[in-house]
Structure formats: C-alpha cells, structure tokens
Amino acid sequence: MGKTISIFKEALKNIISNKLRSSLTMLGLIIGIMSVILLVGIGNGATTNVTSSVKSLGTGTLTVSINGESDTTIQYEQIDDFKKITNIESVAPYKNVSGTISKDTTTSRNSSVLATVPEYINILNLKLEAGRLLSNIDIENSSKICMIGNSLTDTLFEDSKIKDIVGQSISIEGDKYTVVGVLTKVGSSMGTNIDNTIIIPFTTAKYLKSDMSINNLYVKVSDENNIEATKSLIENYLERNLQISSDYYSVTSQDSMLDTMSDIRTTLSLLLGGIAGISLIVGGIGVMNVMLVSVTERTKEIGIRKSLGAKRRDILVQFLVESLILCILGGTIGVGFGIGVGTILQIFGFSFNITSTVILISFCSSAVIGLVFGIFPAYKAAKLNPIEALRTE
C-alpha cells in the first residue's frame, strides 16, 4: 500500500529532521528500558546464584540449625544416636572455627576454617583436585591435617604446583597442619565460599575452640519421597530427646528453601521492575510532550492534508506511527545498552542474567508506551478543524 509506505517514510523524515529533539526524547526511553534490563538482569543473576547453590546440595538434604543461645545442643557423641532416626542416610555436623591462617610469612585474611566429617564432602558433592579426602581415621585421631579450597592455593602457595602442595604444612593459630588434599573450584555455596575454606576434622576443632557443641548439621535422607516425614521425626527428636525448644532450632528441606528463594525472587523482580517501570512512564510523558509540540507545530500541515482528503484516521495513524517509531527505536537502543552494560558488569564479577522473555517484554512495553502516550496527541491532531488549521501559520 502506498499509504503505509509514505506514512512510515514521512514519520522517519520528521524524526530525522528534528535530530536533537528526537534523540533527547528517545534518551528518556533508552534510560528506562536500559534500567529494566539491568535491574531485572542483576536481580535475576543474584537469585540464580543463590538458587544454584541451594540446588548444589542435591535433593533429599535437610539442613538443621540450632541457635547458639539454646541451653542444650547436640554433642558430637550424640550423633550416632541421632543417626538412628528412620530414613537418615548420613549426617554431617560442621562448625565454623576462627583462626589465623598462615604459611611462612604469608597470612590469608579472607579464609575461614570449617571443622566437619567425611560425610560433608559427599553431601556437598565436593571433588578432589589432588591428594586425598578427609577420613574417619582423621576424626578418631583428631589429626592435625587439612584440605584446602582451590583459591587458597594461590594465596598461600603462590608459585607451587597443586600436586606439590599436598604434604606441605600450613599453620592455624600457630599450630602446624599438614595439607592432605586440594579441592576443585566450586564457587560460593550456601553462604560458605568453599574455595576460600580450610576443612579440618571435626574433632580437631577442640584445639582451636573450647565449645564443641554442634549448631549446624546437614542430613541426607535415604528416601527423598519421605523427606517431610523425616523432617518431623528430627523435630520430635530435637524436642523430646534433646529438650531443645522449638524457638531455638530449624529444620529446612531444600524444597522449602527453594520456595523461599522463589518468593524472594518474585518480590525482588517486582520491586526492581516497578522502579524501572516508573522511569519508563517518565520517558513516556516525555514522548507525549514532544508529540504535542509536534502537533502544534504542524497544525498547518494537518489542515493541508485534510483539505486534500485525509480522514481523521489517516492523521491519527500518521502521528501514532511517529511516536511508535520513536519509542521502538529508543527501546531497541535501550535493550542494546542494557545488555552491553550488563555484560561489562559481568566482566567485573557481578552476576547478570537476562532471559529472552525479559528482552521481549521490555521491547513490547516500549511499543505500548509509544501507543499509550502517542494516542492523545494523535487524537488531538486528528480532530483539528481544517479551516482553523489552514489559517494558522
């Protein structure tokens, strides 16, 4: 159709002939769409990170935590009894221990020491890069040995090869510990960055910490389908056998954690989307303002067109197409900038995760803004009286 082509051609001509005005108008939308992409992308990235670390626990794992203020907790000796609860396959108590870690003159500041049992390695699916894993004999003997996370190899053993590190010793609070194994890189998981952690036998922690009660446990169940029943059994056990008040402990399954996570994710997305949405509306108002100015400026043109036989719809469509092109163009540039800046942030270590749905939604919302904020000026133009319009200069 000749009409469609010429409407698009003239809309583009008008946008190009007012370069500064058009680009400033678009800037509002570019910033709006860019913030949608960035905020949603960063929000998504953060929650995806946490979710994937929850998932790394594997299904069929329960997390038991007991508040440190509780009068009674589990002692290491009671773990064997605890294991007798139906459907429990393995139990991994763990404890964070503080201590200065050093090797010769090098001291590592950001690392932590975790005391645990061999089951912990299984439940968290940790893999060895060199050496051997923690063993039950280490536990029995309270051996001064350790496994170190992957990042620590760089911090403590600058130039050594991984396989040469095994057998060397480091010092924790001035005491010597032999490195028996190096773990592969896993990234941050459940608030613990394993790569920066030194794992020692649970019983060895008594040299570093006087309080040896257990506050955190991972429990692996044998039958995943009965996980909720097992959860109740554990709760019963904690209350009846150990007299821990229900205010002081929590037993959470991975499912309930994922549920909470997805709740957080939804709230976060809504919040960020809302903020970005406001900036989009502001951009839209800018578009409307410019289109109203444009209608006033082109009153004479509208009069001429009407005298030549343009119907209301023709004028309406012409102005609508113009605001639509402005918005879609701004939206496209905004999506491009959003992804670009997101990718740069990713290089600097931020997690940024954008789905094609979000891109499509932001693209469509820019078109919707073009329509919504363009309709009033276009309608105003369409219903101009041709005689008065022709009379204006």
Partner 1 sequence: MIELKNVCKSFILGGEEIKALDNVNLSVKKGEFVSVIGPSGSGKSTLMNILGLLDVVDKGEYVLDNVVIKDAKDNTLSEIRNKKIGFIFQNFNLLPKLNALENVQVPLMYRGLKNDESKKIARKYLEKVGLGAREKHLPNQLSGGQQQRVAIARAIAGNPEIILADEPTGALDSKTSNELMELFENLNQEGQTIILITHDINVAKRAKRIVRIADGKLYEGEVV
Which residues within the stretch 271-310 sit at the binding site for partner 1 (CB under 8 A)?
A: 300-301, 304-310
Residue 3 or 185 having the CB closest to partner 1: 3
Instruction: Please identify, among the stretches 8-16, 93-101, 164-172, 225-233, the one whose residues bind partner 1 according to the rule CB under 8 A.
Output: 8-16
Query: Strands 145-148 and 175-183, how do they pair?
Result: parallel
Instruction: Please identify, among the stretches 12-20, 29-37, 111-119, 218-226, the one whose residues bind partner 1 according to the rule CB under 8 A.
Output: 12-20
Residue 191 or 309 having the CB closest to partner 1: 309
Q: Where are the alpha helices (DSSP H) in 176-311?
A: 227-240, 254-297, 299-307
Which residues within the stretch 311-330 sit at the binding site for partner 1 (CB under 8 A)?
A: 311-314
State the residue for tokens 């954008």: 354
Decide if 10 contacts 312 (C-beta within 8 A): no
Residue 270 or 387 having the CB closest to partner 1: 387
Site membership for partner 1, residue 20 (CB under 8 A):
no
Distance CA 307, CA 346 (A): 57
Backbone torsions φ then ψ of 359, nearest 5 degrees: -60, -45
Site membership for partner 1, residue 361 (CB under 8 A):
no
Site membership for partner 1, residue 347 (CB under 8 A):
no
The distance of closest approach from Cβ of residue 306 to partner 1 in the complex, given in angstroms and rounded to an integer, is: 7
Residue 308 or 347 having the CB closest to partner 1: 308
Residue 15 or 327 having the CB closest to partner 1: 15
Q: Where are the alpha helices (DSSP H) in the chain?
A: 2-17, 19-56, 79-82, 118-123, 136-141, 150-156, 162-165, 227-240, 254-297, 299-307, 312-347, 356-382, 386-391
# residues contacting partner 1 (CB under 8 A) = 25
Site membership for partner 1, residue 10 (CB under 8 A):
yes
Site membership for partner 1, residue 132 (CB under 8 A):
no
Decide if 189 contacts 56 (C-beta within 8 A): yes
Distance CA 123, CA 182 (A): 17
Both structure tokens of 183: 């773990």
Which chain residues interact with partner 1 by CB under 8 A? 1-3, 5-6, 10, 13-14, 17, 300-301, 304-314, 386-387, 390
